[in-house]
Amino acid sequence: MADDKPKLQRIAGHSEERFLGSDVFESDRRNLPPPNGSGTIREDARDIDIYHQCDVAVIGGGPAGCAAAWAAARAGADVTLVERYNCLGGLSTGGLVMWIDRMTDWQGNHVIQGFAREFIERMPPEAVAGPPRADWGSRDPVKAGYWGNRTTAFHGIVQWAPTLDPERMKLNAQEMLLEAGVRIVFHAWAARPLVEDGAAKGVIFESKAGRNALLAKVVVDTTGDGDMFARAGAEFDTDIEEGDVHHSMNTGWVLGGVNMDRWIDWKVHDPDGLREFMARGREELGYFQTPYVSWRPDIALFLGPRQSGLSALDVDDMTEVEIRSHRLMEGHCQFFRKHAPGFESAYSLQSASQLGVRHTRRLAGLGRIERKDWGEDIPATDEVGISPSISPKFPVVSVPYGSLVPRALDGLLVGGRHISCDANSHGFMREIPQCWLTGHAAGVGAALAADGGVQPRDVNVDQIRKVLRAQGAHLTDDAAVAAVRAEAVPAQ
C-alpha cells in the first residue's frame, strides 16, 4: 500500500459535533502523472436523433431528482428522468450516505415532509434504524446519549435522522417514480443543455446508443454540481469556507461481520483507550476515521476520511480520491480487525460506486439563503419549504422559491445541493433531506410552468405552495407569509 502520509497535512480534527467526525486533510494529487495533452481538436458536426419529448426533463436521479420527478408527475406532468448510474438515490444509495440528516426542528416537529416522509414511510421497517416518534425532541440525557452514538441526537436533543438500507432505498425510489408515471433512463449521461433564445429546451445525453436529444418544456437540474445550468451559461458561485468540512470529498465504504453495539460500548466507557486507538490509527494509516452505525448492527459505515484541496470538477482529482479511498478501505479493515473491539471478524463488504462530493457549484439565483437571515424567524415571501436549522440557537430556515430559479436563464429550475445559497448555508442545505425538499419544490414549479406555458420564474408561488401542501409538504401558514409580503410592500 502506497504511503500517502508524507505530503498530507491535517487541516481539521474530529471536532464536528453533528456527524462526520473524521479527519479532514489538505491533500495533493500524487498517484497520477499529469496529462500530456495540449491544443484542441474540432469535433464533427452531426444530426442527433430525438429520443423523447416531454413536459419536464429531470437531469440526475439523486435525492433531489427523485423528489422532483415524483412531484412533477404527481402534479400531472409528463416526466423523464435521466440518470448516469444504474440506480436511483445518488449519494444516499450509490454513495452509501445512508445516514439521513435531521428532518425535525429542535422541538421535535417534523418539518421536512412531502416526498421525504412518504419515501421513508414506504421503506420496510427492517430497513430503517432510528428513534421512535415519541422520542423526537427529547432532551433526556439517557435517550440523547444512546441516540447520539447512533447519529440521530445532537446538542443533547433526539432528532428524526434515520439510517436506511441503501439497496431498499434504490428499489423504493424506483417504484415510487414508476408508479407516478415517470420515464426513467438509466446509464445515460446528460452532456449539455439545449438552449434557444436564453431558455433551456432539453438536453443532449450520451449512452451506449450514442448521442440523443431529450426535448422538454422545462429542465430541472438535479445533477448535484449544476452541470446543466453552468453549461447553459447561468451564473454560479464557487466560494467556500476555508477549513470547513463541507467542500471535502471521499469514497464511502461499509464493513460487515462487526458488532457495533460492542464497539459503541467500548468507545463510550474507555475514552482513554479510544484516544490511544485514534492516535495509533493516524500513525499507521495517515488518514483515519472511526465508524458509524448503519441500518444493521453487524454492518459499520465509514464516510471518510475527508480530503480537501481536490476538485470534483477535475477528473484527475476525482481519480486520486478514488485510488486513495480504496486503499484506505482495506487499511481500515485490517487495522480495525486487529485492534478494535467488535471488529474481530470484520471484512470489506462494499465500497461506494459514487464519489462522495459535497460542493462544486451553487446557482446564483433570484433568491438566496444566507447566514445573516438564519436568526430572523421570518418566512420568505416565496417560501416553498422549511429546513431545520444548524443548532438550537437558530429557528427553522425558510427556503425561497427564488433559490431554485436562475437570474437570467429561462426554462430551467434547480434542486439539490447546488441551489442558491451562501457558503455557510450550503453546509446544511446540501444534506439529503434538504435535497428532497428543494427537489420537491422544483418538480412542482416545473410541472406548473409546463402546464401553464410560462417560464418557471413566472409561476404563481401560491399555486406552488397549494400543490406542495396537497403532496404532503410542511409549510409556514399562508396568513403568516401574506403578512410578511404586506410588510415588504412599500406604502403608497
Q: Confidence class of residue 304 from pLDDT cuts 50, 70 and 90?
A: confident
Both 96 and 236 in a single domain? yes
The closest of 400, 362, 384, 392 to 441, measured between CA atoms, is 384
Both 409 and 341 in a single domain? no
CATH code of the domain in which 429 resides:
3.50.50.60
The whole-angstrom separation of Cα 285 and Cα 273 is 18
Both 73 and 216 in a single domain? yes
Please give the single-letter amino acid code of residue 313. L
Task: Provide the domain count of the chain.
Answer: 2
> Could you tell me where the DSSP H helices lie in 181-255?
227-231
Domain assignment of residue 419, given as a range: 20-25+48-123+165-247+356-491
Note whether residue 13 is domain-resident.
Answer: no
pTM confidence score:
0.93
CA 374 to chain centre: 21
Both 340 and 407 in a single domain? no
Edge-first strand order for the sheet with 292-293 is 292-293, 299-302, 253-256, 347-351
Last residue of a domain, one of 321, 351, 381: 351
Both 218 and 336 in a single domain? no
Note whether residue 135 is domain-resident.
Answer: no
Both 343 and 360 in a single domain? no
Q: Which residues contact 338 (CB under 8 A, 6 or more apart)?
A: none
Note whether residue 128 is domain-resident.
Answer: no
Half-sphere exposure of 322 (CA within 13 A, CB side): 13
Q: How many residues does the chain have?
A: 492
Both 272 and 383 in a single domain? no
Mean pLDDT of the chain: 92
Note whether residue 438 is domain-resident.
Answer: yes
**pLDDT score, position 226:** 96
The crossing angle, in degrees rounded to 10, of helices 315-339 and 271-285 is 130
- For 462-475, letters b (16+ CB in 10 Å) and e give eebbebbeebebbb
The cell numbers describing 467, all together, are: 400543490
Both 106 and 201 in a single domain? yes
Q: Confidence class of residue 241 from pLDDT cuts 50, 70 and 90?
A: low
Last residue of a domain, one of 300, 321, 351: 351
Both 235 and 306 in a single domain? no
Note whether residue 34 is domain-resident.
Answer: no
The alpha carbon dihedral of 225, 229, 233, 238 has a sign of negative
* Residue 51: strand, helix, or coil: strand
Residues 18-43: pLDDT tens digits? 444 556 666 677 788 888 899 999 98
Q: Confidence class of residue 6 from pLDDT cuts 50, 70 and 90?
A: very low
Both 416 and 486 in a single domain? yes
Last residue of a domain, one of 289, 321, 351: 351
Tell me: pLDDT of 3 over 60. no
The whole-angstrom separation of Cα 146 and Cα 307 is 29
Both 380 and 291 in a single domain? no
* E strand map for 149-276: 153-154, 157-158, 163-164, 183-185, 189-196, 199-207, 210-221, 236-237, 249-250, 253-256
Note whether residue 40 is domain-resident.
Answer: no
Note whether residue 9 is domain-resident.
Answer: no
How many CB atoms sit inside 10 A of residue 437's CB? Answer: 33
Note whether residue 229 is domain-resident.
Answer: yes
Both 441 and 367 in a single domain? yes
